[in-house]
């Protein structure tokens, strides 16, 4: 299951952004908006990936309409924007892969060494 986060869950320290809920595991953060057709079409693949990854590597979503301050903090310019979160909870590099379950899981495996089939 994809876990929802909010502006209050993002902390900025020395110019970097952290999500404490991802500390210890890392994860993926999907910044989306409900009116975005591509966001809506992409979510089922991320939901299926979240089921396969379980608690080993959680997937989070951030609603851009409800969390405008967080979107500004993260410097999000378009939707969906998907970001990797490292094991310290630091939001980092953008996910550039395909929006298919196979590609999501392969990308997570490469970035985090959490590999699931």
User: Does position 43 have pLDDT exceeding 90, yes or no?
Assistant: yes
Write out pLDDT tens, residues 46-99. 999 999 999 999 999 999 999 999 999 999 999 999 999 999 999 999 999 999
pLDDT at 116: 80
For the whole model, what pTM was predicted? 0.93
What contacts 29, CB < 8 A, 6 or more positions away? 5, 19, 22, 59, 60, 61, 62, 82, 83, 84, 85, 91
Gap between the Cα atoms of 50 and 60, Å rounded = 9
Gap between the Cα atoms of 81 and 30, Å rounded = 6
Contact 101, 46 (CB under 8 A): no
pLDDT at 18: 98
Write out pLDDT tens, residues 10-30. 999 999 999 999 999 999 999
Give the range among 34-38, 40-44, 110-114 with minimum mean pLDDT.
110-114
Q: Phi/psi zone of residue 29: left (φ > 0), alpha (ψ -120 to 50 degrees), beta?
A: beta
Which domains are delineated in the chain? 3-112 (3.40.30.10)
pLDDT at 114: 85
**DSSP string for 57-95:** S-EEEEETTT-HHHHHHTT--SSSEEEEE-TTSBEEEEP
The percent of residues in the chain predicted with pLDDT above 90, rounded, is 94
């Amino acid at each position: 299951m994809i876990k929802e986060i909010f502006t209050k869950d993002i902390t900025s320290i020395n110019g970097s952004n952290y999500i404490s809920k991802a500390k210890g595991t890392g994860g993926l953060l999907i910044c989306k908006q409900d009116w975005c057709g591509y966001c809506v079409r992409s979510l089922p693949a991320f939901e299926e990936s979240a089921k396969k990854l379980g608690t080993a590597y959680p997937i989070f979503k951030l609603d851009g309409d409800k969390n405008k301050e967080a979107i500004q903090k993260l410097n999000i310019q378009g939707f969906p924007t998907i970001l990797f979160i490292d094991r310290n909870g630091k939001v980092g590099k953008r996910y550039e892969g395909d929006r298919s379950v196979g590609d999501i899981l392969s990308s997570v495996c490469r970035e985090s060494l959490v590999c699931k089939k």
